[in-house]
Amino acid sequence: MPDDDVFKQFKEHSIAEFFKKNRQMLGFTGKVRSMTIIVHEIVTNSLDACEEAGVLPDIFVQVDELDKEKEHYRLTIKDNGPGIPRSHLGKALGQMLAGTKFHRYLQQRGQQGIGAAACTMFSYLTTGQPTKAVSVYKGKKLTASIGIDFKQNKPVVEVIEEVDASEGESGLTFISEFKDVRYERSNYGVYEYLRRTALANPHCAITLIEPEGRSTAFPRSVIVNPSKPTEIKPHPLGIGTHDLLEFARQNREKRRLSSFLQETFSRVSAGKIDELRALLPNVDLNKNPQDLSWEEAEALVKAFSQVKWIAPATDSLVPIGKDQVEVSFRNIFNPEVLVVTERSPKVYRGGIPFMVEVGIAYGGGVAEAGKKGEVMRFANRVPLLFDSGGCAITETIKTMDWKRYDVKDFEEEPIAVLVNLISVHVPYTSAGKQAVSPEEDVMDEIKFAIMEASRGVQKYLSGKRKAHEIATKKKVVSRYIQQLSGDLSSLTGEKKADIEKALTKIVEEKYAREDMEVEETAETGPETGNGKPDADNEGEE
């Protein structure tokens, strides 16, 4: 039959082949953006590796222009982390969906295990050259070239040299050439990305050497690594039927479904098992988990939603921190006023913990830098420079009634807003990891955090405006003291100088009291970080 001919074209394809044809899904869509995405992917891996090893990150980035006409560049990115062992180097840099992140319920900058391999792929597609990697791991220094076998999604590794490392030497150096990219000092370029990375990671020291040879250092302002996030178990409310069956099939130790549930998921106690038994009289919780049927798993998931659970553990979340945000903002902007707020942890989709922190800087260095209505989006300390239009953070800021907080026109005011979303699983809109999906619970928390910080800015601006009004009134009233003194002297016969002195004292005392009231109001500061919506949140916008 003619239809049979169609299936002669039926073939299997690897994930590497898929992304080879759809590299735009990884963020490689524009020349400047592609350059920034490469730096983003390698630098985030370096930060994660250093922090997990307990090392204060030192990151070196050098961009060399090899051929301006052909837009041909070489990127060198070096860190002082633990390095990668020989057995894992190829997979880490040359195999899609291979790594330490995708399968772990842990707050990390990377999530899928695609980024570094995507950079190796992009280099090979645009120059035909493999990536060079120098890894110093446990006293051994390995130099290798790494490519990708697209059909099998496997790394192609050629070891160039393996020698003993120098004492104290460690880390990974990524060296690769790229075409179809361009270096620019713009709001979407490498310089801005690293500047924002330094802002959100004050414990990290970054050095950038640009194509023309200009060197910029972003020094660390905090000499302690952030506390390590703890890996947590999935929460029952975040589990679907297929997920539950997958966990059950992979189980090799627990012979009873009840003990499997307690060991596999968080917040499942013996008491909760009793509640599930009462809700599921037709499901045998003593059976082997591997014998669980789809119908039984479906019934269990439904029962999960009927039980009142304790929220997931939140010690897995590590924000930048109020003090660190303040230090970073003052180092980079030195604003006239700065307010930072940190919300208490919440959950979305029933079982994924997350939290939001916000910093708002106004005036001072923000105005001097020419910044107006600047929105700085972060997820797990990683700058999000692209796809702002479809991002939950941008959308939330757009819906804010800024006039309510004495910010007349957000787009024209000298204001910078930092929003950092922290989660064990950031709901990105794509594999490019540049925008946060508009989850309702997440957007609500972003809004509450911005409102809290905005009230602090409003209090300052209101006080500043009142102080100006007081000074203006005092100046106006003072104009009439001399005239009034002369008139009163004529009527009473008292000396004009004495009357003028008395009136001046009255005016000074009156407006000094008003100044003091304004200062006391400003000194009370904003109420931040309580993690609760305030009374005036209701009905906002």
Give me the CATH number covering residue 148.
3.30.565.10
In this prediction, residues 257-280 reach a mean pLDDT of: 91
Tell me the range of 302-316, 383-397, 504-518 where mean pLDDT is highest. Answer: 383-397
pLDDT at 131: 93
pLDDT at 240: 85
Tell me the range of 6-15, 55-64, 123-132, 317-326 where mean pLDDT is highest. Answer: 55-64
pLDDT band per the 50, 70, 90 thresholds, residue 534: very low
Q: Report residue 361: phi and psi, to 5°.
A: -110, 140
| Residue 459 · residue 528 · CB < 8 Å | no
Distance CA 199, CA 446 (A): 19
List, for residues 92-143, the tens digit of each pLDDT value.
888 876 654 444 555 666 544 467 888 998 898 899 999 999 999 999 999 9
Number of domains the chain contains: 4
pLDDT at 449: 95
pLDDT band per the 50, 70, 90 thresholds, residue 515: low
Instruction: Look at residue 309 and tell me if it is in a domain.
Output: no
- CATH number, domain of 359, equals 3.30.230.10
List, for residues 374-416, the tens digit of each pLDDT value.
999 999 888 999 888 889 999 999 999 999 998 989 999 999 9
Instruction: Look at residue 316 and tell me if it is in a domain.
Output: no
Q: Do both 207 and 264 map to the same domain? A: no
Instruction: Look at residue 228 and tell me if it is in a domain.
Output: no
Residues of the domain holding 156: 15-218
Instruction: Look at residue 500 and tell me if it is in a domain.
Output: yes
Q: Report residue 16: phi and psi, to 5°.
A: -65, -40
Q: Which of 183, 218, 253 is the last residue of a domain?
A: 218
In this prediction, residues 254-275 reach a mean pLDDT of: 89
Q: Report residue 436: phi and psi, to 5°.
A: -95, 135
Q: Do both 244 and 138 map to the same domain? A: no
Distance CA 358, CA 351 (A): 23
Alpha-carbon torsion (187, 207, 204, 48), positive or negative: positive
- Per-residue pLDDT for 539 more than 50? no
pLDDT at 52: 86
Instruction: Look at residue 156 and tell me if it is in a domain.
Output: yes
- Per-residue pLDDT for 538 more than 60? no
Q: Is 50 helix (H, G, I), strand (E, B) or coil?
A: helix
> Mind spelling out the 3-state secondary structure of 67-99?
ECCCCEEEEEEECCCCCCCHHHHHHHHHCCCCC
Mean pLDDT of the chain: 83
Q: Do both 418 and 473 map to the same domain? A: no
DSSP 8-state code for residue 234: P
Instruction: Look at residue 188 and tell me if it is in a domain.
Output: yes
Of 28-32, 196-200, 532-536, least confident by mean pLDDT is 532-536
List the helix and strand counts (H, then E) for the chain: 15, 14
List, for residues 281-294, the tens digit of each pLDDT value.
999 999 999 889 99
pLDDT at 537: 40
Higher pLDDT, 487 or 359: 359
Q: Which of 187, 218, 249 is the last residue of a domain?
A: 218
In this prediction, residues 452-456 reach a mean pLDDT of: 92
Q: Do both 366 and 493 map to the same domain? A: no
Q: Do both 122 and 144 map to the same domain? A: yes
pLDDT band per the 50, 70, 90 thresholds, residue 319: confident
Concatenated DSSP letters of 292-360: --HHHHHHHHHHHTTS-PPPPP-TT-----HHHHHHHHHHHT--SEEEEEEPPPEEETTTEEEEEEEEE
Q: Do both 349 and 421 map to the same domain? A: yes
Q: Do both 396 and 277 map to the same domain? A: no
Q: Do both 394 and 517 map to the same domain? A: no
pLDDT at 103: 41
Distance, C-alpha 184 to centroid of its chain? 23
Q: Do both 430 and 480 map to the same domain? A: no
Instruction: Look at residue 21 and tell me if it is in a domain.
Output: yes
Q: Do both 54 and 107 map to the same domain? A: yes
Q: Which of 304, 339, 357 is the last residue of a domain?
A: 304
Q: Do both 280 and 377 map to the same domain? A: no
Instruction: Look at residue 225 and tell me if it is in a domain.
Output: no
Strands 352-362 vs 374-379: parallel, antiparallel or unpaired: unpaired
pLDDT at 112: 47
Q: Do both 333 and 421 map to the same domain? A: yes
**Quick one: which of 49, 174, 190 has its CA closest to 123?**
174
In this prediction, residues 226-230 reach a mean pLDDT of: 78
Tokens of 272: 């909760």
pLDDT at 115: 72
- Per-residue pLDDT for 440 more than 80? yes
pLDDT at 101: 45
